[in-house]
Amino acid sequence: QSVLTQPPSASGTPGQRVTISCSGSRSNIGLNPVNWYQKLPGTAPKLLIYSNNQRPSGVPDRFSASKSVTSASLAISGLQSEDETDYYCSTWDDSLNSLVFGGGTKLTVL
Amino acid sequence: QVQLQQSGPGLVKPSQTLSLTCAISGESVSSNSAAWNWIRQSPARGLEWLGRTYYRSKWYNDYAVSVKSRITFNPDTSKNQLSVQLNSVTPEDTAVYYCARDPGNLGYGMDVWGQGTTVIVSS
């Protein structure tokens, strides 16, 4: 059971906007910034969003994120077939003194 | 730019010790701003953070509760690399293992990753 809760799956059609949620608690999301990773099969995770809503250089602005109290969400607009993969949220947990991940969300582009 | 190159055996017998190395180029392992993390991924457990080591005038370590009693980090400043040892492994430790850099200014975000090492625990 992951400390951060994500829906196991999400889906959308090309061009659509989809959101993926990440629910935590005060000791993690409530106190620390949230990061999002894109995980393609056979490759290392890629940092997609850092510090709640910042995009590293090279990440398209189709990807955005937000945080509110103890939850966060990743939004992908203008959905493309290449976006079909797994997405993970992550943050630091002050109670566990550990970095924690969500269980991951598999995004399907219909 | 910073690159991480992992090495280590892909097959470990149960009860033995898993040892992996992460060679760093483009930054010092004893950087006063970065932290060096180990993460693994398995179908059953998704992405799982194992711990981190970092240097701030001395070395500090943080460990995941799940592996705290079995894991050791060894930074090697002469080779600019870090290694991890996980002892008393079981088949549940079968996973792809990654090292990753937290540069210190991305809110715990890890921006550079090793290529990953698939480790199978089996007799």
Q: What is the pLDDT of residue B44?
A: 85
Distance (Å) from the alpha carbon of A70 to chain B's nearest alpha carbon? 16
A101 has a chain B CB within 8 A of its CB:
yes
Mean pLDDT, chain B, integer: 96
Distance from chain centroid for Cα B106? 19
**Residue among A33, A45, A51 minimizing CB distance to B47:** A45
Q: What is the pLDDT of residue B48?
A: 97
The residue in chain A having the minimum alpha-carbon distance to the alpha carbon of residue B107 is A51
Q: What is the pLDDT of residue A74?
A: 98
**Measured between beta carbons, which residues in chain B are less than 8 angstroms from residue A35?**
106-110
What's the whole-number mean pLDDT along residues B45-59? 96
DSSP character string of chain A: --SBB--SEEEE-TT--EEEEEE--TTTTTTS--EEEEE-TTS--EEEEBTTTBPPTTS-TTEEEEEETTEEEEEE-S--GGG-SEEEEEEEETTTTEEEEB--EEEEE-
- Sheet containing B81-86: order of strands: B3-7, B18-25, B81-86, B71-76
**Residue among B47, B48, B65 minimizing CB distance to A96:** B65
Q: CB A104 to CB B47 under 8 A?
A: yes
Q: What is the pLDDT of residue A60?
A: 96
**Measured between beta carbons, which residues in chain B are less than 8 angstroms from residue A104?**
46-47
**Residue among A39, A47, A102 minimizing CB distance to B110:** A47
Helix, strand or coil, per DSSP, at residue B82: strand
A:B CB pairs within 8 Å: 73
Q: What is the pLDDT of residue B91?
A: 96
Q: What percent of chain B has pLDDT over 70?
A: 100
Distance (Å) from the alpha carbon of A54 to chain B's nearest alpha carbon? 9
Distance (Å) from the alpha carbon of A101 to chain B's nearest alpha carbon? 6
**Measured between beta carbons, which residues in chain B are less than 8 angstroms from residue A98?**
49, 62-65
Tell me B92's DSSP state. G
Dump pLDDT digits (tens) for A5-19. Answer: 999 999 999 999 999
Spatial distance between the Cα atoms of B100 and B97, rounded to a whole number of angstroms: 10
Dump pLDDT digits (tens) for A33-67. Answer: 999 999 999 999 999 999 999 999 999 999 999 99
**Measured between beta carbons, which residues in chain A are less than 8 angstroms from residue B100?**
44-45
Mean pLDDT, chain A, integer: 97
Q: What is the pLDDT of residue A35?
A: 98
Q: CB B46 to CB A103 under 8 A?
A: yes
